[in-house]
Structure 1
Amino acid sequence: MPSSSFIRRAFKQVDVFSLEPYQGNPVAVVMQAEGLSSQAMQHIATWTKMSETTFVLPPTDPQADYLVRIFTPQKELPFAGHPTLGTAHALLEDGDIEMHDGILVQQCAAGLINLDVEYIDTDFSLYFSLPKAAASSVNQETRLALMQALGDIEIGAAWQINVGPTWITLQLENADVVRNLHVDLAAIKKISAKARITGVTVFGELPPGSDAAFEVRSFSPITGVPENHVSASSNGCVAWVVQKDGLVSGNAYTAHQGGCAGHDGQVNVIYEPDGRILIGGHSVTCVSGTILA
């Protein structure tokens, strides 16, 4: 495509699950994607080399406020958590969309996604409703393989949970054990391939008085990500286990993720009276400008 056929479009890179720049999980957002083909979107997503790049379009469903398409460097996704939050943050920040009773409605390939917006003074947090989880217990053979892959440690609760992405989710003794794992990524990749999962997530309780309830780590070498900075879907799986086993009192908690990968992500979880599990937190825009597309 000749360069003369490109136009400048509004573009942002948003760091999700952090108020501090470069501590969360970034997403690239092309704000005005009208006229771009699927092939062009995939080409841009491959070029950015971000875990996800999103493209904002006018909605085709009258109930939606906007439409978003989500691409990894390899393929398009029907839905993903942190790109959903980062895209909504970029749009709200610029005043491109308006809330309705504190709710935004995103249209994507997975359907309509409601996002709750929580304002404190001029700052805001965003939350999406976790898709209904489908869970099964991990069999003994896989459990033993996981114990070895994580450095011959003891494992508590062990579930395979599908919330869109599928994670084997393991409760470990405490946060210190989570931080000090000796992970065999080749073994994790082999286990993931056999179980047909996105990866393995582990969590452990932090001491009372900490600024978060749990330390979380997620490993997805099968997707080319040895360790996730901060993952919405894996924290959703942890939230399901926490609720099932009554690991927190009250209807909300915060999890920390990314410390072992050089980041400082904070994921907020809220259990709603209607049974929904909300996953979200703060975001910060680190790059704002234009992109030729």
Structure 2
Amino acid sequence: MHPPRTRAFVQVDVFSASPFLGNPVAVVLDGTGLSKQQMQRVASWTNLSETTFVLPATIPEADYRLRIFTPGGELPFAGHPTLGSAWAWLDAGNTPRQADRIIQECAAGLVTVRQEADELSFAAPPRIREGDLDKGELDRIVAAFGITPERVVAHQWVDNGPGWAVVQLATAEEVLALEPDLSLIPEAMVGAIGAWPEGSTHRFEMRTFAPGAGVAEDPACGSMNAAVGQWLISTGAAPSSYRVSQGTKVERAASIHVAADTDGTVWVSGTTTMCIRGSISL
């Protein structure tokens, strides 16, 4: 065990133009020499939905490597930590190999991040599981959500690493009315999405529940929105560019932009704000 040393540490608010209304991520900008157990201990202590550790890349194309932890364990990929960590890495004075994009290495592979004005966006990674939920899984989610199966418009596995599943309800109001009993689905990683009326600022309202990762309700979830965007856009259930509101029920005001390029690549973006700069002894 090496003696503790001072490392740069920041907290970044992601997916909100107003500080402290998005989803924060804690970033340790130098994770070299730390064990997985040490990283997990810090993530449990910060008690944020994710804490990340920046490390030297092991793949020549990558600018850095990122390890991502929830209070309950390590994730191969997550969206808002990707954007927040990229912002922190740039803020620390680093320069990407390519002028127009950052290449992040994580357990799920390489993730491309690009910067436009004051927003970063990441390219949605491929889903490792998709298709309709099986009846047993859907029944458990419906029971936990306290609704009848008839209220579910559509459902899908949208797993790009964390294990996500999603159910679509008819309206945003129905999503906001959910009072889930997560004790019925303690291992679940599940979201609910519903549409706002035409002409609204946001096309959809999203809620994300992650008891399986030790997070009851995530204020804003990039990875969920990325995979749901791939699903909805590919099936024609959503336009090629739309905005999602998230965090309303936990007193946040996240705004997430989801858009598909002409080649089908889905990008997820949002405003990112540096809120805390300091150091941590590890």
TM-score w.r.t. length of structure 1: 0.86
- Which of the residues 118, 130, 137 maps onto 2:132? 137
For the 8 Å contact 2:7–2:29, the answer to whether it is kept is yes
Return the offset for 1:144: 4.1
Superposed, 1:59-98 pairs within 5 Å as: 59-98=57-96
Superposed, 1:1-293 pairs within 5 Å as: 5-98=3-96, 100-119=98-117, 123-132=118-127, 134-153=129-148, 154-189=151-186, 193=187, 198-249=188-239, 251-293=240-282
For the 8 Å contact 2:43–2:69, the answer to whether it is kept is yes
Return the offset for 1:141: 4.3
**Cα distance change, pair 253–67 in 1 and its aligned pair in 2 (3 A):** same
Deviates more, 1:135-144 or 1:166-175: 135-144
For 1:68 and 1:144, locate their aligned partners in 2 and report how far apart those are by CA, in whole Å.
36
For 1:10 and 1:150, locate their aligned partners in 2 and report how far apart those are by CA, in whole Å.
41
For 1:107 and 1:149, locate their aligned partners in 2 and report how far apart those are by CA, in whole Å.
36
Return the offset for 1:185: 2.1
- Percent identity of paired positions between Structure 1 and Structure 2: 39
Deviates more, 1:235-244 or 1:6-15: 235-244
Deviates more, 1:217-226 or 1:171-180: 217-226
Return the offset for 1:212: 0.9
List 4+ stretches of structure 1 deviating above 6 A: none
Return the offset for 1:101: 4.0
**Which residue identity lines up with residue 170 of structure 1 in the other structure?**
V
For 1:151 and 1:42, locate their aligned partners in 2 and report how far apart those are by CA, in whole Å.
33
Q: How many residues align?
A: 280
For the 8 Å contact 1:130–1:279, the answer to whether it is kept is no
**Cα distance change, pair 39–167 in 1 and its aligned pair in 2 (3 A):** closer
**Cα distance change, pair 184–100 in 1 and its aligned pair in 2 (3 A):** same
For the 8 Å contact 2:71–2:213, the answer to whether it is kept is no
**Cα distance change, pair 285–185 in 1 and its aligned pair in 2 (3 A):** same
Gapped regions of structure 1 (runs ≥ 5): none
